[in-house]
Structure 1
């Protein structure tokens, strides 16, 4: 527990006060008529420490109705038993700072003040109306800053509670709590939320594509012709037809051999006949040569011996030509004999049989092809359905986890709100709001008898501020001074923890009285 006490403060040329010194007790009563400077007394400590008024707003303490040389505000504090004196002034238009009467830099001064107590915390404890002047997010932060949130173990148990009489050790975690309890060992709840929001969105898109793929395959399968289930018999029949077709084809191949031989022989025969005609032409050319009667050069007639020699030479040249011709004729006769011996086979029946088998085989091959296509599509469809189911399961799992996180946050908010609410007797505090989609969002609303602070009367504002102030004091373990301005407007309130300063409008000059509980 930390204690912050106001011992004394003074103001020189501070607003309406030319020279003012105030000593504070456990109870300090400040009375006087309007315009006597009662509220200015309360501003001396806040301006000294923070340069602000009691609501944290910037303020100018310089007098407006008399001449002055300089402004100086000093405040003597006791913080956890240690005395500290702070001073802030204005000399020749420049700010001056003092700690224990030693002048220093603004940064050093502010660092020392900051190390004592947080500014918002002090102002909220010092001025009960300060809290309601803050934005709701700042109010919420200040209210929860010193409040310990429920532990995960506690939230998981409360999520799973089936009746109010159950002891924590007897509560069995429900599926949501059990799953989250395992997952938070590796990731924080915000991380899990980000992971599974992304996974849900990704799987949503992927699942739609997978559904489209499945529907396409199902449509393709419906468009294929029906196939008999006894595919093994069809495959056996197809194999037998292929075998028979091959056998007939082999016979046709054998039947074609005489045709090929006939064609070769006919070609060879035609070639030999052409060679015979050429050999005969060469022979007849020599055979038709005439023996000359005289020399073509000197024109002398040949004698009988010369003529006989020319005749003999001609016969010698005819002999090889005749032999060549005879050989070719003999070759022609051999080929003609071979050609005559060739026996052609009629394969028209075989071709007819093979065409019949091929027509039957077209049916079995198509059937097998459609069957294989159906099988391939079935396998693709089975995989597509498995992929679709896997994506859907992953998506649904992320939705389950996100719903579990929402349930956790709702229960945590409920427990935290209940914990904070338990500290109040007259005020109702709302820390969260639930959106239409089930999400729990931070909120902060204070009500009293159904009215919000904007609707409070001055006395209601003071009482509400005092209650908020004491809750923050208890949570933060800080005891500080607290003032009630316009005390005449409130007749009933609970005394705050720490020093109490009462400001009240009464007829007459400014008057300050102190009381100590030890006296």
Structure 2
């Protein structure tokens, strides 16, 4: 687990903020009225790391808007952060800009889309390299756990259990059984080094087999019925008497 500290965050033309530098101290409070940019600062850091805002949306408005609500053209939208990772300083920067190209027959350049550029310690990096560096520093799932109080509650219970087990470490099976009297019967069922998970899989496989056998019972009954031979018992009795009489005469 890395120790990550934010030392400085620099925003340029990000959403409604033209330019802002925040030097983070041991304790940094960001205060303000509604719609003054508190969420924008959080969005900028999320975007710098993962290309998404604080609500986990990739498609959100990054550009600075004019008073009429239109995006201002020709600006570079940039977020840069100086981080301290395990005592070592690392600088990350993401820049979002418009692409303008000049086509044949036209005097002016025309808008042809957007491009995002990435820098690690002021060195240009490919998107894959940048994402790998961010994941090495702080995986997306870990960031959500420590920054969003609702994230854990919205996870599937199996994923919640996995995270909790990672936090508390390995759990001794014997301690779990001894902790609750109702689990005591498991001691006789778990032979040798069999784990609860392996035993669960075994029982699940047996249930599946029994269910499959149950489905085949009607077909087996039909097969047995087809092999049943109906006999006339009166004829068999006559044959029996004939044989007995024949044996009696021979004696």
Q: TM-score, normalised by structure 1?
A: 0.36
**2:80 is the counterpart of 1:74:** yes
Report if aligned partners of 1:44, 1:75 keep a CA contact under 8 Å in 2: no
Larger relative strand fraction: 2
Displacement, 1:145? 2.1
**2:151 is the counterpart of 1:144:** no
Distance in 1 between residues matched to 2:234 and 2:205, nearest whole Å: 43
**2:137 is the counterpart of 1:116:** yes
Bigger relative contact order (CA 8 A; separation at least 6): 1
**2:36 is the counterpart of 1:39:** no
- In structure 2, the partner of 1:204 is 214
**2:145 is the counterpart of 1:104:** no
- In structure 2, the partner of 1:60 is 61
Report if aligned partners of 1:86, 1:101 keep a CA contact under 8 Å in 2: yes
In structure 1, list runs of 5 or more residues that go unmatched: 163-170, 228-234, 244-519
Moved more, 62-71 or 78-87: 62-71
Displacement, 1:39? 1.9
Distance in 2 between residues matched to 1:183 and 1:57, nearest whole Å: 46
In structure 2, list runs of 5 or more residues that go unmatched: 99-113, 238-242
Distance in 2 between residues matched to 1:182 and 1:198, nearest whole Å: 24
**2:134 is the counterpart of 1:128:** no
Larger relative helix fraction: 1
- In structure 2, the partner of 1:49 is 49
Q: 1:157 to 1:36 in 2, by over 3 A?
A: closer
Give the RMSD, CA atoms, in angstroms.
4.1
Q: Deviations over 1:253-277 (max 9, x none)?
A: xxxxxxxxxxxxxxxxxxxxxxxxx
Kindly tell me the number of residue pairs found equivalent between the two proteins.
221
Distance in 1 between residues matched to 2:81 and 2:16, nearest whole Å: 18
Distance in 1 between residues matched to 2:222 and 2:170, nearest whole Å: 44
Report if aligned partners of 1:55, 1:123 keep a CA contact under 8 Å in 2: no
- In structure 2, the partner of 1:242 is 250
Q: Deviations over 1:272-323 (max 9, x none)?
A: xxxxxxxxxxxxxxxxxxxxxxxxxxxxxxxxxxxxxxxxxxxxxxxxxxxx
**Secondary structure of the residue that 2:30 maps to in structure 1?**
strand
**Secondary structure of the residue that 1:181 maps to in structure 2?**
coil
Distance in 1 between residues matched to 2:191 and 2:178, nearest whole Å: 10
Distance in 2 between residues matched to 1:81 and 1:183, nearest whole Å: 43
Q: Deviations over 1:225-268 (max 9, x none)?
A: 9x9xxxxxxx998645224xxxxxxxxxxxxxxxxxxxxxxxxx
Distance in 2 between residues matched to 1:74 and 1:64, nearest whole Å: 21
Distance in 1 between residues matched to 2:46 and 2:199, nearest whole Å: 41
